Amino acid sequence: MEIQLKELDAKGFVMTRENNKRVGMMTYSIAGAELIIIDHTEVEPAYNGKGIGKQMLCKIVEMARKKNIKIIPLCPFAAGMFSRFEDIRDVLKS
């Protein structure tokens, strides 16, 4: 499984691929030097329940920690993950 994070202008995304096929994507908007907004998550149905969404979110959390930025999770999936997992809330915008 390959997970890539890319940014272009005011947008960014994490894409997960397996055997050169996209299996998941999480997108975000860059709302400033210290803030991003996760706005969408999608995972191919065949990969539901395999932790793809959580892996993508963890990649964004890792990037946020390195850059010392905060996250607003507008996407229902991301918001749910922040509710469930206390260990990633350090990057949550309060």
CATH number for 74:
3.40.630.30
pLDDT in tens, the chain (94 residues): 999 999 999 999 999 999 999 999 999 999 999 999 999 999 999 999 999 999 999 999 999 999 999 999 999 999 999 999 999 999 999 8
Do residues 38 and 75 lie in contact, with contact meaning Cβ atoms separated by under 8 Å? yes
Q: How far apart are CA 73 and CA 11, in angstroms?
A: 14
- Cα of first residue to Cα of last residue in the chain, in angstroms, is 33
Structural domains counted in the chain: 1
Residue 2 is predicted with a pLDDT of 96
Q: Which domain holds residue 87?
A: 2-91
- Predicted structure pTM score: 0.95
Residue 94: predicted pLDDT: 85
Strands (E), 1-94: 2-8, 11-18, 21-32, 35-43, 70-73
Predicted local confidence at residue 39, as pLDDT: 98
Separation CA 75–CA 88 (nearest Å): 16
